[in-house]
Amino acid sequence: MVKIIDILTHGVLWLILSAMAASCNSVEGPVIDKGLDGGSTMSFRFTIYTDEKQVSSRALGEWEENAANIAERILNVDDMRILFFDQSGVLLKSVRPTSLDYNDGYMTNDGYYSLSVSFTHDYFDKFDSDANVPFNVMILANLESIGGRFTDHTPGYTRVSDITDYFLMKTDFFPTENEGIPMYGIKGFSVIKEQLMQGIDAPFAGQIDLIRSLCKIEVADKIVNSIIYPDGNKYPQVTDVEMISWVDHGYVRPRFDDYSEGLKFANIYPASVVTDVVSARKINDKYILYCPEAKIKDMKFRVNAVLSPGSAPRQFEIGLDAFASEIGEELVRNHIYRFDVHAFNTILDLNVNVSDWIAQTDEFELDDVVSMEPDGFLKWEYDNLNFAVTTELYDGKKEEQLSILNGTTSYASGTFHILSPKGAIWKAYFIPGENGVDAFEFVDVDEEGNAIEGSQTVFAEGHVGEPATIHIRGKGQADAYRHWSELVVEVRTFDGTVLYAPLTSAMSSRFIIYRENKL
C-alpha cells in the first residue's frame, strides 16, 4: 500500500505531445502546410479521461471511482471548449471539438473522449522544422448543462489568466448522462515542429485528465442506537437531507493552475448566499448533494428524521463551520465531503470524512528510468486457438503483436514487474489505430480464471514495485475485417514526469494488439 496524502492532484494530466514521427520521403525535409491565413497547420491526437481511479485521502475516506454514477464522468462533446495558447500564454484559438478543421472525435458514455485536431496559425511559422514548439491546451467542459455560458474569448489578446468562465447552478441540478459536472484541465507541452506538421496522420499525443468544478456532499444514516420495530423498519431513521444555505455560483477553473501538489484552495465566486432549499437524492443509502466551492460558514444543511413509527418527522440543522477542524475553512472542488449521522440525541453527533475524486500518492524515491526484472518484459499467457503472439516489421523495425481471433470472449494475460522509478504509478491503456477505438478492454478475473462481467475498463493501473498481470480481450462484436490498437504502459512519477515501460525484448514501448478473422 502506498501512503496517501491530504491533497488532490492534478486531476489533470498530461497532454504530452511526444509525437512519434511519421516518415518523410523528401530529402529536403517535411513540406509545411500553409493555411488560408498564411500560417502553418498543426495536427495531433489525444484522449481525455475523467475516470481516473487512484488511492487518495485528503482525509480518512477513500473515493472508489468504480462506484461513481456515470454522470460524474460524462463528457458532452457539444458542451466543451478547447483553447490553444502560445508559449507566453496568449490565446491562439478557441473552438468546439465539432468545429475543428479536422475532427475525428470519438466519445464513449463513460468518461473517455478521443480527439484528432488540426488548425492553422502563423505562431508555428516562428520555429524551425527541427525546433520544439511549446504551447498550452486548456479544456472547459460541461458548462452550459449546469447553467453557465462559454465566454467568446478573443485570440491574440486573451491570456490564460483571463479565463474566468463561471456558472449559475440550477437548484434542481443533478448530473445525468446528458448533463455532466463542469470540468477543467490545462497542460503545457512541447513538440518538434516537423512531427507537429504531419497532417491528418499526425501521431497520438497523450492524455489529459480533467478535474471536476463541483464539490460533492454525502450524508449517510449510520445511527447506532436504532431499533427494529414491528413494521420492519429501523428507528430513528433519516428520511431526507436538504441544503438550506449555499452558494450557487462557481468558476469552472480552479484558483491556481499549478496544482501538481494538490488542490488546497477554493476559487469562490463573489456571490450572495442563497437559501433556496435543495433536496438531496438518495442513492445506495446515501443522500447526495452537489455544490460549487464555498466558505464553510455559508454552508448549512438540514437532516429530517423520524424517531419512532408514526411520529412526526423532526428536523435538525447544522452549519458546516462546526467541522472546520476536519474540513478547513473552505469547500474545495473535486472533493467529496462525507457526513455520517450516528445519533439524534444531538445533531452534533456527526462524523465527517473528506475524500478526493482524484488523488495522488506521496513520499517517493524517484528515478528517471523505467526498469523491469531481467528477462521480465511483457510475457503473455493465452490459449493457442484464439490468440497468437508474432513478430512483424513496422516502419523497418521489429514489433511484437498480439492477435485476437474475432468472436472470442476469452482473454490473454500479460505479466510484468516494473522495478523503478520507485514509488511511481503505472497505467496501461490503448492508443487506437485503424478501427481501434473501443475495440479492446481490460477485465478482472476471479479465482477460477473467469472474466468478471462488469469489470471492463479502458485502462489498468498499479504501483511500481509490485508484480502485475493485465487481462485483455476484444470488446463487443467486430464490425470490420481488422481492428488494431497500440498497448502502452505509462509510468508516472510524483513530480509529473511521464516515462514508458519497455514491453518487448527489443525495448519497444508499444505492443500492437489486433483483432482478426483468422490467426
pLDDT for position 62 = 29
Q: Is 60 exceeded by the pLDDT of residue 106?
A: no
Quick one: cell of 252?
A: 469552472
CA angle 463, 469, 472 (to 5 degrees): 120
Q: Read off the pLDDT band of 243 (50, 70, 90).
A: very high
pLDDT for position 375 = 53
Q: Read off the pLDDT band of 53 (50, 70, 90).
A: very low
Q: Read off the pLDDT band of 36 (50, 70, 90).
A: very low
Backbone angles phi, psi at 436, to 5 degrees: -95, -10
pLDDT for position 367 = 35
How far apart CA 356 and CA 296 sit, in angstroms, is 17
pLDDT tens digits for range 261-277: 667 889 999 999 999 99
Contacts of 355 (CB under 8 A, 6+ apart): 56, 57, 58, 59, 60, 61, 62, 63, 335, 336, 338
How far apart CA 138 and CA 162 sit, in angstroms, is 12
Q: Which residue has the higher pLDDT, 486 or 61?
A: 486
Instruction: Using alpha carbons, list the distances in angstroms from residue 379 to 373, 403, 511.
Output: 12, 14, 11
Instruction: Using alpha carbons, list the distances in angstroms from residue 101 to 93, 430, 471.
Output: 12, 25, 37
Residue % of the chain over a pLDDT of 90? 19
Q: Is 50 exceeded by the pLDDT of residue 121?
A: yes
Comparing CA positions, the residue from 352, 344, 414, 407 lying closest to residue 382 is 414
DSSP3 helix / strand / coil % (the chain, rounded to 5): 10, 40, 50
Torsion of CA 287, 288, 294, 295, to 10 degrees: 20
Report the pLDDT averaged over residues 284-312.
88
How far apart CA 255 and CA 267 sit, in angstroms, is 5
Q: Is 90 exceeded by the pLDDT of residue 372?
A: no
> Which DSSP category does 31 fall into?
P
Look-up: residue for cell 491533497?
7
Q: Is 60 exceeded by the pLDDT of residue 133?
A: yes
Report the pLDDT averaged over residues 43-63.
48
Quick one: cell of 52?
A: 481516473
> Which DSSP category does 22 fall into?
P
Q: The whole model's pTM is what?
A: 0.61
pLDDT tens digits for range 177-224: 778 899 998 877 777 788 778 766 665 666 777 888 999 888 888 776
